[in-house]
Structure 1
Amino acid sequence: MADIVSQAWFWPAVFVSVGLPLLLIGLTEMYNALVRGGSRAAPIVLMVRNYLVPVAAIMVLISQPGAWDEEQSWFKVFATIFGLLVILVVINAVDHLVFHRAEKGSWRDRFPTIFSDLIRFVFIIVGIALLFWWVWGADVAGVFAALGVTSIIVGLALQNAVGSIISGLLLIFESPFEMGDWIETNEDTGYAYGQIVEVNWRAVHLDTGNGILVIPTALLADGSFTNLSRSPEPYLAKREVEFGTDDPPGRVRELLVRVARDIPVSSPDREPTAATLEGSKYSVGIPLQNPGDRSGALDAFSTRLWYAARRAGLHLDGDDTDEWRTADRLQKALHQIAPILGLRGGEADALASSARLERYCQGEVILRPGTVPDATRFILDGRVVLGIPTEDQGFVQVTTLGRDDAIGITALTRTTTISRAVALSEVDVVSLPVAMLDEIVRGHPLLAREIVRESENRVRLARAALAAVGEVLPYGRSMLG
């Protein structure tokens, strides 16, 4: 027994026969655990188990004295195979640990794929060269010298092309933008505005809303641009407008802010801004939740501003004509609603001194929650949705109002309304101020009863609409306009 233990091959044989199965079992369990966890390291462990460990065991056995010929050719072959496997395992392990497990936003996450591929290729070439030098005694100095000279020649020949590519790759590595960001380039790079839909080592692809614009990354690296999505404040969509020289600037700025605040895509985290410029020009800034909403927001703002300026008696673009709001049309409107109010023709004509014609565009808010209506508006033409805003549902529709229906019936009781009325189409109304309504009710008491009946009907509709979505009416019945 002592003679066997003293043999040179005994302990290596024990290591291979006992340690190899245990190591294979351990690696198998590790591989199964990584597969269950969805880890990218599972293929690396599988490669170690199936190839690296068996080849290492064979090398241990054939490395014993007298196992092979004196030159140990087979040992060198297995050593070469083992070295290649080590190179592959190490490169894949480093790639997994450094890049695939990188935290979002870190330098490893921003590292360009082409750089990692180039580094991997260089390490493979260098590793193979060193392996052949160590195992076979090959002279690889000439290979490195030729590689260096070739790199210099190719670099000089492609200096401009490679320089632009490197500039683009460095820009990607810096990562001033990412997929989905909105950017705006300056004049030095050619003006462009759009959302990033693809980024590669050569170009950035922008969705401009009118096709895909491809901008070389080198052009962005040499120029300047603005990342609209990375501003700490909401993006401001700006527009300049002009009013009449006789329009009070304070009223104009107040109107601009009010119209901008009602744009659906405006950000609730910041108030719109309005400033007076030279002459009768004004600048308005609309904070947006998403820079991509700029075109739609500015279009909606310009449309609504036209209607709001007409209602406010201000002169957008210096225009002081209003061919729609005429005395004849007002008289016809009052005669249209006279039966609703219980008035005769002469009584309706008497309202012309205080009544007003108003027009709203689709999407405009006619009645706001949390306010006491200063007038009751009767619909002459168009459709209006009446609803209640809630925290969970956003907006619960109660009913749709049409011709001859009233908006703001809580004006008579001076009660704060909880409802919101939004125009579903272009809407024409005639507005009767509260003082006028008081006079009409004193002369026609039955009108007050009709208003109460309509208010109760809307409360009943509101309770049913809210109950359908699991909500309850939070306030008294007289608060629904």
Structure 2
Amino acid sequence: MFYWNDVEASRQLIAAVVTLVLFVVTAPRGRRWLARGSLLLLLLSPLPLLLAPLFPAATDAAGFAHQAVRFLALASLLQSLLLLLVVAVWERIGRPMPQIFLDVLRISLVGVALIASLWEAGAAAGDLFAGSAVLTAVLGFALRDTLGNVFAGLAIHAEHPFEVDDWIQYDDNQAHIGKVVEINWRATKVITLDLAYVIIPNGQLAQASIRNFTKPDPWSRRSLFVTAPYEVPPQRVQAIMLQAIRGSFGVLEHPAPSVVTNNYNERGIEYWVRLFTTEFGKRDLVDGMARDRIFYALARNGIRLPVATHQVRLTQLPPQVEMPRETVVAERAARLEAAGVLGVLSAEQLRKLASDNEERTYAAHEPIIRQGEPGESMFIITEGRVKVTVQAAGSKPVHIRDLTMGDYFGEMSLMTGEPRSATVTAEAETRVLEVSRPAFRAILEEQPDLVERLGEDLQRRLIEREEAVEGAEKSRQDQNPADLLSSMREFFGL
């Protein structure tokens, strides 16, 4: 049997204080708050001695007070030693211990201190164990649900099916998806996209099928379903959709997105667009922007999303559709005239150019042309704004300029047949008039002076581009304007 006298209790108090101070000094700043439990036990240790005089003299209040002091001192010492070992030593060389495990150990040590104090006070070992068994049975029956949640929480920490900051689906309901913000004794707390704070008992999670969208890989797949008309070949639709979502917000290049034919229904052919993203918390925005890109891309290629054949749908046509053809052409011609480079054209030439080409609409943040791609057309902005960037090999894209209504781009490919020399991206919903090579050649044959004017502007833009991009090819920068004009005339056969 242990025997502790007052001197021993004093030693325990001193040892508890020293151990607690040592923990506070050596522990990381963010973990020092764990010492509050041990400190509270130390502060409570003088209380039994202060309360002892209040009891009748016939009772052994002083003896009980001394036993209580020894219990509090021992409990504080054991907890401080545990914190010093786990936090100040173990966590410096290994993985931090989950909070729930640390709490279980601390409570267990309080129980050990209580049993040791009762044993030292003269309680028989058989009585202690019998009483502990009865107390355990009573508490276990009364707190069976709470204890079930506690043990489920221990299992979650041991198996690691998910961790804090993981996105999980915690039952079969697709709406029950949230980000884990805390795992404690009783429950796991998640916050949904609707900013709803959900508390799920650990026992319920232990019996549920949990879907983790963050582990083992940080990306997850999103599925979009788009229906296109039967008249358009599936391979063409799939290529348009893949090109449209390329570079869209949150869409990863690896794993690569894909499009497959999924179903045939009364509206048309249903396509399954599959993309991967690491922006699971913004998955609705990722899906929405990808759908926008697909809509604009299909519209630019003359593909309208079909409606069910058994429905009657009345649609208010856009103003440009309701307008007579002559009015639409006249408005386009006015926009073309506003582009300074075409100011030398006659009214009839502008109308012809406007009639032979079509306007196209692009979504915000959607690339209109990409550097290095082939092309034989130029674009004149009729509405919206774009940004122009170039990228040298092994470097980051460089922002060259912003263009707005009346500006034009893509003239290098139109004039010389070279690949696109820059990437142009819509900054807002943008409409452009695409001028094709055959239509422009007819204009140049009537207005040869336009070649020289465009050649001068091309030379200026080339120099500006080369000065902006470090390490770009010097051959273009040194190109003679006369050589550029000669190349343009040769390309158009003038």
Amino acid in the other structure paired with 1:100: E
- Whole-angstrom distance in 1 between the partners of 2:410 and 2:403: 12
> Does residue 220 of structure 1 match 2:205?
yes
Unaligned runs of 5+ in 1: 1-26, 48-75
Match among 257, 261, 266 for residue 242 of structure 2:
257
Q: 1:278 aligns with which of 239, 258, 263?
A: 263
> For the Cα contact (< 8 Å) 2:336–2:354, is it kept in 1?
no
The DSSP-based 3-state class of the residue aligned with 2:199 is strand
1:293 aligns with 2:292: no
* Alignment partner, residue 332 of structure 2: 333
Structure 1 residue 277: deviation in Å? 1.2
- C-alpha spacing 1:413/1:387, structure 2 compared with 1 (3 Å): same
Post-superposition offset of 1:263: 0.2
Aligned equivalents of 2:436, 2:106: Cα separation in 1: 79
| Residue identity matched to 2:332 | A
Determine the C-alpha separation between the residues in 2 that align with 1:391 and 1:206: 45
- The C-alpha deviation readout for 1:114-171, integer Å capped at 9, x for no partner, is 34323333234335534664x6665243122212101101212332343244324422
Query: Aligned pair 1:198/2:182, yes or no?
Result: yes
Letter in 2 for 1:317: P
**Structure 1, 315-324 or 393-402: larger mean CA deviation:** 315-324
Which of 120, 126, 131 is the aligned partner of 1:141? 126
1:3-402 matches, within 5 Å, as: 87=78, 90-96=81-87, 100-101=91-92, 103-104=94-95, 109=97, 111=98, 113-127=99-113, 129-130=115-116, 133=119, 138-187=123-172, 191-216=175-200, 217-232=202-217, 234-279=219-264, 280-318=269-307, 323=318, 324=320, 327-328=325-326, 329-338=328-337, 340-341=341-342, 342-351=344-353, 354-389=356-391, 394-402=396-404
Mean alpha-carbon deviation: is it higher for 420-429 or for 200-209?
Answer: 200-209
1:150 and 1:283 map into 2 onto residues whose CA distance is 61
In structure 1, C-alpha distance between the alignment counterparts of 2:212 and 2:28, rounded to whole Å: 37
Counterpart CA distance in 2 for 1:168 and 1:40 is 21
Distance 1:354 1:401 in 2: 24
Structure 1 residue 191 displacement after superposition: 3.2
In 1, Cα distance between the equivalents of 2:111 and 2:178?
Answer: 42
Q: Which moved more, 1:300-309 or 1:454-463?
A: 454-463
Take 1:260 and 1:114, find their aligned partners in 2: how far apart are those partners?
45
Q: 1:180 to 1:91 in 2, by over 3 A?
A: closer
**Identity across matched positions, percent:** 22
Contact kept? 2:71, 2:113, Cα under 8 Å: no
Cα offset, 1:333, TM superposition: 0.9
Determine helix, strand or coil for the equivalent of 1:284.
Answer: strand
Verify the 8 A CA contact 2:279 2:286 in the aligned structure 1. Answer: no
2:465 maps to what in 1? 462
How many Å separate the matches in 1 of 2:393 and 2:87?
Answer: 45
Using the TM superposition, give the Cα deviation of residue 366 of structure 1 relative to its aligned residue in structure 2, in angstroms: 1.0
Tell me by how many angstroms 1:395 deviates: 3.5
Is the 1:129–1:140 contact (alpha carbons within 8 Å) kept by the matching residues of 2?
A: no
Q: Are 1:381 and 1:428, in contact at CA under 8 Å, matched by a contact in 2?
A: yes
Matched-pair contact (CA < 8 Å) for 1:399–1:461: no
CA contact (8 A) 1:275 1:284 kept: yes
Aligned equivalents of 1:85, 1:167: Cα separation in 2: 28
Q: Give me the whole-angstrom Cα distance separating, in 1, the residues matched to 2:253 and 2:166.
A: 21
Shift of 1:243: 1.3
Deviations 1:425-451 (A, max 9, x none): 222211111233333334323222222
- Structure 1 counterpart of 2:181, which letter? V
Aligned to 1:419: 422
- TM-score normalised by structure 2 residue count: 0.71
Kept in 2, the 8 Å contact 1:185–1:191? The answer is: no
1:369-407 deviations in whole A, cap 9, x for unaligned?
A: 111223111111221111224688743221111222212
Q: Would the alpha carbon gap of residues 394 and 266 (structure 1) be closer, same or farther in structure 2, given more than 3 Å must change?
A: farther
SS in 1 for 2:462: helix
Q: Structure 1-normalised TM-score?
A: 0.73
Could you tell me which amino acid in structure 2 is paired with residue 315 of structure 1?
R
What is the letter of the counterpart of residue 199 of structure 1? Answer: I
Distance 2:175 2:301 in 1: 37
What amino acid is the match of 1:114? I
Aligned residues, how many?
412
Contact 1:236 1:288 in 2 (8 A): yes
CA distance in structure 2 between the partners assigned to 1:79 and 1:229 by the alignment: 49
- Alpha carbons of structure 1 residues 348 and 318: separation in structure 2 relative to 1, 3 Å: farther
